[in-house]
Amino acid sequence: MSLRAATCALSKSPAPSPIWSPQNRSPLSTSVKLSPTVANLTKNSKSATLKAVFYIIAAAILYALAILFGASASRNINTNFAAGFSNLFGAVIPLIVAIPFITRSNLSSHKFGVVMTVASGICLALFVMALTKSYSLNKVGIVAPIVFGGAIVLSTLLSTLVFKEKISLIEGMGLAILTLGFGIIIYARVAAK
């Protein structure tokens, strides 16, 4: 009796079917046939990975467009007006998508999440106001790397404190390079005046 079968016998549950066995192997090929469950997991993980990559690329493209549209708006109208309308549309569109899925139990069972969402919204509103003002005073090529690269550095460092996440050596080197880049960009901006 194998260890796996003995463990299943002790727990009184049926032994799971093996993922691979000599009987599952095709006589014409040396490839391994996966059980249907494992094949579905593999297919699902590939589609989940592709879906995740799609959303990352879409977010990067949309974020770049938002930066350009926001910079253009802040140079042509009052920066607080630009920030207000950016936040308005940024809040209304997700609500239209999310409202059909909101139930009372979702909100009452996750009160901390709701509080953190409100705090996030307040920070986002203040961020957009500061961002649009900085676009009206500086070049996009200076504002964008400092603001968004700075957000990467700060959020990564704060995540070590708040979420107890670990920073690997390579991540630390990347953060150091980003910080060095900020110094060069800021120096170039100050030296240009």
Mean pLDDT calculated for residue range 60-73? 85
65 Cβ neighbours under 8 A, 6+ residues apart: none
Write down the domain spans for the chain: 53-137
Task: Write out pLDDT tens, residues 132-177.
Answer: 899 888 888 888 888 988 888 999 998 999 889 899 999 999 999 9
59 Cβ neighbours under 8 A, 6+ residues apart: none
Predicted confidence at residue 42, as pLDDT, reads 54
Q: Is the pLDDT of residue 14 over 70?
A: no
Predicted confidence at residue 7, as pLDDT, reads 42
Query: At how many degrees (to 10) do helices 111-137 and 36-76 cross?
Result: 40
34: left (phi over 0), alpha (psi -120 to 50) or beta: beta
**pLDDT band per the 50, 70, 90 thresholds, residue 9:** very low
**pLDDT band per the 50, 70, 90 thresholds, residue 45:** confident
The better pLDDT of the pair 152, 18 is held by 152
Q: Compute the distance between CA of residue 73 and CA of residue 91 in angstroms, rounded to an integer.
A: 18
Task: Write out pLDDT tens, residues 80-130.
Answer: 888 888 888 888 888 888 777 777 666 666 778 778 888 888 888 899 899
Q: Is the pLDDT of residue 63 over 60?
A: yes
What is the residue type of 45? S
Predicted confidence at residue 15, as pLDDT, reads 45
Strand, coil or helix: 21: coil
The better pLDDT of the pair 48, 41 is held by 48
Q: Compute the distance between CA of residue 86 and CA of residue 188 in angstroms, rounded to an integer.
A: 30
pTM value is 0.60
